Amino acid sequence: MVLSLQSNRSLSEFSTFGIGGPIRYLAEVTSFEEMEEAFALKLPFFILGKGSNCLFDDRGFDGLVILNKIDFCSFTDTEVSVGAGYSFSLLGVQSARKGLSGLEFACGIPATVGGAVFMNAGANGCETCNSLASVLYLHADGSRREYQREELTFGYRKSSFQSMFGAILSAHFSLTPREEARKAQLQIIETRMKTQPLKEKSAGCVFRNPAPTLSAGALIDRCGLKGAAMGGAKVSEIHANFLINTGSASSQDMLSLIRLVQEKVFEQTGVYLEPEIRLVDATN
């Protein structure tokens, strides 16, 4: 098996923000073995899923961007094993249709399963780690290991994997039978469609909620920042914790707007908002 490398591609093609510069090399990986091949090249690398929850540098990435497309999905009773490149939103819909509860919140989240595990994605009071049973991981040295849930540490948009060097290959979830799972999932997506700028170029919520009962979006709104703009970057008028690319935003525009929001909110409330999105520079 010989891994195919592409050049002359841009991170903006793979970013939900629509922002990012040239990629030195791009590899689309569809199997565990291809991921091993990619690591064997010994190049600086970045693992890419749906390109959400990230702000890429206009200078691009001077290394290997690995697009994780390991996308198998297998249900057995209340268990599901799924590749890291599988759509997390689709997994939420499919599990709910089977009357299984635990991932209803995933519908509408523009992430792969690997990205959701890596960031411990969450919404509606639920988090990815709640139904996670195990994760198969490939370390950069080529060694594979299956981690059980109890071996891993998760927090608000945090996981053990953020301090590791390698790639999530697959995940196993343990779900619970629930007759109303599909109804709950449909209600979640209906609410999202009404309250989030889903048709705009964004990376989802930009800032972490400073406390369980304190919403970053509500703080930004309270400070009168809806509609505030820097270049082509703008605070959404639908949901203040969504910063959007109006069509021509650069990474510097978005960074400037992030800093502006942080400064204004801190000045008016004393609360410092921490970014939830990952800032990926030219060398990561």
> Which residues participate in catalysis according to the annotation?
157, 205, 276
As given in the structure block, the two tokens for residue 219 are 């703080």
Q: Please give the helix or strand (H or E) that residue 169 lies within, else none.
A: strand 166-174
Q: Specify the residue for token string 């639920």.
A: 126
The secondary structure of residue 186, as a DSSP letter, is: H
Looking at residue 93, its amino acid is V
Q: How many residues in the chain?
A: 284
55-64 burial: b if 16+ Cβ within 10 Å, else e: bbbbebbbbb
Residues contacting residue 85 through CB under 8 Å, at least 6 positions apart: 29, 30, 49, 67, 68, 69, 70, 71, 112, 113, 114
The secondary structure of residue 53, as a DSSP letter, is: S
Closest-CA residue to 31 (of 129, 144, 115): 144
Q: Please give the helix or strand (H or E) that residue 181 lies within, else none.
A: helix 181-195
The answer to whether residues 107 and 92 touch, using CB atoms and an 8 Å cutoff, is yes
